[in-house]
Amino acid sequence: MKNLVILHLESISRQRLAAFAAVLPHTTRLLREALAFDNFFSSATSTRMVVGYLFHGNDFEYDTATTFEGMKAEVNNPHLFSTLRDRGYNAELICLNGFQHVRPIKLRSWSDDLPPIWATNDFPTLIARFDALTEAAPFAIYVWDLISHIEHSLALAPHSHGLTDQIRRACAVADDAVGKMRAILERKGLLDNTTIVLYGDHGDDTWTHGFKNGMIHGTEPYTDIIWTPLAIRDPGLTPGTVDHMASTIDIAPTCLSLLGIGAKFSFPYSGVDLLHGAANFAYSQNFCANQSNGPVGIAKAFSVTDKTYTLLASSRGLELYAHRLDPGNHCNLLHFFTLDKTGRPVLQAHPGAAGHFRAGWEETPHAVECLADDFQRLRSALAARVAAKRAYIVERGVQPSHALDPACLDTISQEGRDAFFRRPPVIEARTDTPAFEFTYKLR
C-alpha cells in the first residue's frame, strides 16, 4: 500500500511562488519531480473552507450556514482521511501553529472519528513528529504549516526588514520544512512508495482591491487569491505540467485513485479524478451560499474560471477578467461593453482611444466575438452553480434568506468604473481673472 502526504502551502499562491522563488528551492524541486497543474484554482478564499472542501471533495459542505462561525460540514461525501483510516491507514493531521500557546488550532472539518489534531509552535518538534509518524506504514499525513500566514509570520518580524522581507523569510521557513520532510522520506526509502500532494490553499490580495477592514484573504475570489500551486509526486506519474482545469475539490478523488482505493464520491457536485478526466471550469467562493455580505466592504461572491477568464458574480453585479493578461484582476473587461437584450456583450465606442486599445478590441472584431461567446458560456455555468446552491439550501429545509439574487447575473458591476475611466484634470486660465488664478474641469 502506498502512503500519502499532503503538504498544505499556507497563503502561497502562484504569484507568491514566483515572487520568492529564490527562497523556495525545496518546493521548486518537488514541483519539478511532480505532475504540476497549471490551471489549478482554489475552491475558496479562506483556509477553513478550502480544507473542508478538500477533505469532502465538494464545495457545498457549508452552504446552509448563515455565518462563518456557524459553518459545519454536511458530510455530503465521506471524509478523505476517515476513508483512509477505514482502509488501514494511520491518518493524522499535524500543524505548526505560532499561536498554539494562546489559541490552539481548531478545525471543524477534521472528523471526530480521527486522532486529534496534533500541533506545536516549535519547528524542530514538527519535523520530529513527522519523522515518528512515518515509522508506521501505511500512513496518511496532512501537514499544515502556518508560518507563511501573515499573522504567524510575525514571529519573523524582529529579524526582517519590513513586511516584504517578513513574508519572504516566512516562505523560506515553510520551504525548509518541505525539504526536511522530503529528506526524511528519502532517507527511509519511502519516497517512491508515497504519493505527495503539494497545494496552496489561497493567496493574499494585499489591499489592491480596497481596504476591506484590512482583510487580505477571505475576500472576493479574484485570481490573485485563487490561482495557487498544485503538484502531485507519485511513482506512477511522469513529471511535467498539464493545463487542464483543476480545483481543490478534485484532490480527494485523485488521491483515492492514486492509492488504488475504489471508493467513489456520490454527491453530484463532487470533484473529479484528475488522472482520468477534467471539468471545464473551476468554481470558487468567499462566503457560504446562505451568508450575507460582509460588514466591511466585502461582497459575497462566486466565481467561475476557465483557461482564459475569471467571471465573478456578487450583489454588485458581474466582473470579467482575463486572468493571464491581468492576474491581479484590475480591469473589469465588462466596463468596455454593454449587455444587449440577450445578455451578450456589445463593445461600446471609445472615441479617441489609443492605438493599443484599438488593436486589442476595435480593430479585432474576432477578439470581441470570442469574448462574447466565452462570457455567455461562463455566465450560464455560473448561473447554474448559483441556482444549484440555492436549491441545495432549500432541500435541507433551510430558508435561503441570504442566497445570491440571480438578478445580479444580468448586470455589470460599476465598482471602480468611474475611477477607471477618469481623465486627468485640465488646467484652464480664466479670462476675467488674473493669470495666477485657475479653475479645474474634467475633459
Tell me the three cell numbers of residue 264: 467513489
Q: How far apart are CA 184 and CA 356, in angstroms?
A: 53
Asked if 49 and 240 touch (Cβ cutoff 8 Å), the reply is no
Q: How far apart are CA 184 and CA 147, in angstroms?
A: 20
DSSP 8-state symbol, 286: S
Dihedral sign, Cα of residue 412, residue 345, residue 291, residue 217:
negative
Maximal C-alpha separation, the chain: 90
Q: How far apart are CA 416 and CA 433, in angstroms?
A: 36
Residue 428's H or E segment, with its range, is: strand 425-429
In sequence order, what are the residues at sequence separation of 6 or more whose Cβ sits closer than 8 angstroms to the Cβ of residue 441?
Answer: 425, 426, 428
23: helix, coil or strand?
A: helix
Q: What was the pLDDT predicted at 443?
A: 42
Q: Is-above-0.85 flag for pTM?
A: yes
- Residue 290 CA: distances (Å) to CA of 44, 200, 239, 398: 15, 26, 41, 9
Asked if 206 and 11 touch (Cβ cutoff 8 Å), the reply is no
Phi and psi at 32, nearest 5°, equal -70, -30
* Cis-peptide, bond into residue 434, ω within 30° of zero: no
Other CB atoms within a 10 A radius of the CB of residue 107 amount to: 17
Query: For residue 8, what are the β-bridge partners?
Result: 144, 199
Residue at 376: amino acid letter:
Q
Asked if 342 and 331 touch (Cβ cutoff 8 Å), the reply is no
416: phi > 0 → left, psi -120 to 50 → alpha, else beta; which? Answer: left
370: phi > 0 → left, psi -120 to 50 → alpha, else beta; which? Answer: alpha
Q: What was the pLDDT predicted at 438?
A: 41
Tell me the three cell numbers of residue 395: 432541500
Tally of helices (H runs) and strands (E runs) in the chain: 11, 16
Taking the CA atoms of the chain, what radius of gyration do you get in angstroms?
A: 24
Q: How far apart are CA 210 and CA 62, in angstroms?
A: 27
Domains and CATH numbers, the chain: 3-280 (3.40.720.10), 301-421 (no CATH)
Cell 476517515 sits on residue: 82
Tell me the three cell numbers of residue 108: 471543524
* DSSP code per residue over 299-328: PPEEEEE-SSEEEEEETTEEEEEETTT-TT
Cell 434568506 sits on residue: 401
- Residue 379 CA: distances (Å) to CA of 215, 303, 311, 383: 28, 10, 7, 6
- Residue 145 CA: distances (Å) to CA of 198, 238, 291: 12, 27, 29
Instruction: Going residue by residue through the chain, which has 443 residues, state the pLDDT in tens, using 9 for 90 and above.
Output: 999 999 999 999 999 999 999 999 999 999 999 999 999 999 999 999 999 999 999 999 999 999 988 888 899 999 999 999 999 999 999 999 989 888 888 888 999 999 999 999 999 999 999 999 999 999 999 999 999 999 999 999 999 999 999 999 999 999 999 999 999 999 999 999 999 999 999 999 999 999 999 999 999 999 999 999 999 999 999 999 999 999 999 999 999 999 999 888 999 999 999 999 889 999 999 999 999 987 788 999 999 999 999 999 999 999 999 999 999 999 999 999 999 999 999 999 999 899 999 999 999 999 999 999 999 999 999 999 999 999 999 999 999 999 999 999 999 999 988 878 875 554 444 445 444 444 444 44
- Cα first-last separation, the chain: 71
Q: How far apart are CA 402 and CA 289, in angstroms?
A: 7
